[in-house]
Amino acid sequence: MTGARVGSSLTDEQEAIRDLVREFAAEEVRPGAGEADEAESFPEKVWDGLAELGLTGLTVPEEYGGFGADETTYAIVNEELAYGHLAVATALSVHCLATSCIAEFGTEDQQERWLPEMASEGRPVGMFCLSEPHAGSNPAEMSTTAEYDPETDEYVLNGEKQWITNGKRGGVAIVFAKTDGDDERSITQFLVPADAAGFEVGRKEEKLGLRASDTTGISFDDCRIPAEKRLTEEGKGLSAAFRTLTGGRIGIASQAVGLAQAAFDEAKAYAAEREQFGGPIDDIQTIRHKFAEMATDISAARLLVREACRQAEAGEDNRVAASKAKYRASETAMSVTNEAVQIHGGYGYTTEFDVERFYRDAKITEIYEGTTEIQKTVIARGVLGQ
Ligand SMILES: Cc1cc2nc3c(=O)[nH]c(=O)nc-3n(C[C@H](O)[C@H](O)[C@H](O)COP(=O)(O)OP(=O)(O)OC[C@H]3O[C@@H](n4cnc5c(N)ncnc54)[C@H](O)[C@@H]3O)c2cc1C
């Protein structure tokens, strides 16, 4: 990446990780991104490379062979990977949601069974199954049920999840289901291996962007899992999901910053080369102002991410800060990728240039892990003291 970066108050270790991931993203991730997007196929070789670097264990505690990354390191890795390819960063961040849930809520046996492999091999790949066809922004409206069978000491899962990242390539899922009654106080979190009988992967969605990332439905048809696979006490699942998602939102915000930075850098290189009216277009004041605006927006978004990380590391409640970061960073990704296409003119509208893919990819950052409207709801509630 080029250009001045703000927020350089990183430790030596964080800088070293940033440089490592930046190099990996430039050499191994970015070159195949366009092809993977066109083929709608996840680059598994890149995933294996992430595992070799230890990044699939980013949020796994060190005692289980993971990185035990702090929030800032988590954010930096997401930013640098998204600079290379958003679909790869998304897949990793969902895998990390799954490992975080096991690390935070699992028993010692569950942690020993799953975390070392998920960290060192990157497999089984993790999934996070919260959304449903009729329950997105309000997951409390979910209808998947988990009924306890005392005779076999098992739960029987029935229902349907939607929009599941890593749906086809995933091997283990964190699943939220209602255990008793119909209100949110009955939502419970389970760990469900994808090879459990009755765990069915639906068709892959065809999407505007993020096309190399597989997004599918997952349904449960009398899917029996031993009671020991319950991750939270009955009824404690939704608050656990929201806690996990606060960290997840910092990841998505960081990805949005990385994507915006990639678009900025492409536009900068293009504007220096492209000549109109007898000189490079980056001599034209209107174009120069676009760069001033984009650079300022990216810096502001990155600083909001860093503040959300700082609050988490200080043990403060960072829910509002995480929502501010996600809201601002995803809007920045949208506006910067839009301007990057504009600066490329007609060429930017073709698949010949990466900015076309960046523009399509950016939209998802305003939708998943809580839409912009939901982030504003969280922020308003916080700042109004409600
Ligand atoms: C590519 C992709 C990958 C995804 N990966 C995962 C995954 O791995 N796991 C998972 O569980 N989910 C995943 N999701 C789901 C994603 O988190 C949801 O799509 C998102 O939360 C929005 O839910 P919805 O699509 O049902 O929209 P809805 O909730 O139906 O919202 C529709 C519109 O109404 C607005 N709206 C809704 N309620 C309010 C309100 N109270 N105030 C203001 N506006 C409101 C929304 O902001 C939106 O604009 C993924 C989605 C996509 C597209």
- Percentage of residues of the chain with pLDDT beyond 90: 96
Among this protein's residues, is 108 annotated catalytic?
A: no
Per-domain boundaries in the chain: 3-125, 127-235, 238-383
pLDDT in tens, 80-102: 999 999 999 999 999 999 999 99
Task: Round to whole Å and give the CA distance between 1 and 120.
Answer: 28
Q: Is residue 114 a contact partner of residue 239, using CB atoms and an 8 Å limit?
A: no
- Please state the atom number of ligand 1 nearest to the C-alpha of residue 133: 26
CA dihedral 245, 247, 252, 254 (to 10 degrees): 170
Q: What angle do CA 357, 303, 336 make, to 5 degrees?
A: 25
Query: Residue 4: its pLDDT value, please?
Result: 39
**Ligand 1 pocket member 154 (CB < 6 A):** no
**Ligand 1 pocket member 210 (CB < 6 A):** yes
DSSP string, 28-91: IIGGGHHHHHHHT---HHHHHHHHHTTGGGTTS-GGGTS----HHHHHHHHHHHHHH-HHHHHH
- Percentage of residues of the chain with pLDDT beyond 70: 98
The CATH fold assigned to 127-235 is Butyryl-CoA Dehydrogenase, subunit A; domain 2 (2.40.110)
Mean pLDDT of 160-182: 95
User: Which residue puts its alpha carbon closest to atom 16 of ligand 1?
Assistant: 368
**Ligand 1 pocket member 97 (CB < 6 A):** no
111: CA distance to ligand 1 center in Å?
A: 30
Among 207, 220, 330, 368, the mutation site with the greatest number of ligand 1 atoms within 8 A of its Cβ is 368
**Ligand 1 pocket member 131 (CB < 6 A):** yes
**Ligand 1 pocket member 367 (CB < 6 A):** yes
Q: At residue 180, does pLDDT exceed 90?
A: no
pLDDT in tens, 14-42: 999 999 999 999 999 999 999 999 999 99
Task: Round to whole Å and give the CA distance between 241 and 257.
Answer: 24
**Ligand 1 pocket member 214 (CB < 6 A):** no
Among 86, 163, 323, the mutation site with the greatest number of ligand 1 atoms within 8 A of its Cβ is 163
96: CA distance to ligand 1 center in Å?
A: 20
246: CA distance to ligand 1 center in Å?
A: 15
Task: Round to whole Å and give the CA distance between 18 and 80.
Answer: 7
Q: Spelled out in words, what is the top-level CATH class assigned to the domain 238-383?
A: mainly alpha
138: CA distance to ligand 1 center in Å?
A: 8
237: CA distance to ligand 1 center in Å?
A: 19
Among 40, 96, 137, the mutation site with the greatest number of ligand 1 atoms within 8 A of its Cβ is 137
pLDDT in tens, 69-79: 999 999 999 99
pLDDT in tens, 339-362: 999 999 999 999 999 999 999 999
Terminal CA-to-CA distance of the chain, rounded, Å? 41
User: Which residue puts its alpha carbon closest to atom 14 of ligand 1?
Assistant: 163
Query: Residue 90: its pLDDT value, please?
Result: 98
CATH code assigned to 3-125: 1.10.540.10
Task: Round to whole Å and give the CA distance between 311 and 322.
Answer: 9
β partners of residue 314: none
Mean pLDDT of 244-272: 97
**Ligand 1 pocket member 369 (CB < 6 A):** yes
**Ligand 1 pocket member 120 (CB < 6 A):** no
Lowest mean pLDDT segment, chosen from 146-160, 232-246, 316-330: 232-246
Catalytic residue among 266, 273, 369, 373, which?
369
Mean pLDDT of 330-339: 98
Q: Is residue 371 a contact partner of residue 137, using CB atoms and an 8 Å limit?
A: yes
372: CA distance to ligand 1 center in Å?
A: 10
